[in-house]
Amino acid sequence: MKQLLKSAIPVLSVILFAACGDGNTVGDTDKKDSANHTDHDQMKMEEGKTSSASVKLKDDKLNAVYQHYVHLTTALTNGDMAEAKVASNAIEAGAKEVPGAEAVASNAAKITAATDIEVQRTAYATLSNDFITLVKKSGLNSGELYVDYCPMALNDKGASWISPNKEIKNPYFGEKMMTCGEVKETIK
């Protein structure tokens, strides 16, 4: 009986190992996990594009900046400093083409230069206020935008942002307090 167990254990181990795996080697699994992560990120980006794509500002140059603003908001909501820098860099470049958007460009540059996500979020609050003013001045050709407000942002000073969705996704706290805030205004 002992001999049978000694020979059966390695065979059962191999069978169990094979049954638990999906046929990929370790390197293949890492590639697959990376691909799944990329697919997930792409899906999240597509969701944002779907919502923001239905919104069209009257000012085409400002509309281009708006697309990057949505990207920045998503990055801060996800706590992704590097992606926030990519988006803010694009906002800075685009805002330089929009009359009256100098403050937006300046705050975007602060986000790009920041080495801490809380510094990025503070600059984002000022950028958002200026951007909200520009969007209201421009108006929309289609869709709706929501001015969201979180009273707890910036050490309880409160801060606003624009969203293409009624659902609150807080860029000031991200996962810590994702739904903190409320819709204060609808821009049509």
Angle at CA of residue 40, ends 171 and 131, nearest 5°: 30
Q: Is 147 exposed, middle or buried (0-12, 13-18, 19+ CB in 10 A)?
A: middle
Name 160's bridge partners. Answer: 149
Separation in Å, CA 55 to CA 34, 98, 170, 187: 32, 18, 20, 10
CA distance 56 to 13: 60
Identify each DSSP E strand in 3-106 by its residue range: 56-57
Listed residue (137, 184, 138) closest to 161, CA to CA: 184
Residue-wise pLDDT tens digits, 20-59:
333 343 444 444 344 433 343 443 444 444 456 689 999 9
Q: Higher-confidence residue: 115 or 24?
A: 115
Torsion angles phi and psi, residue 100, rounded to 5: 85, 5
Per-residue model confidence (pLDDT) at position 3: 54
Residue-wise pLDDT tens digits, 117-131:
999 999 999 999 999
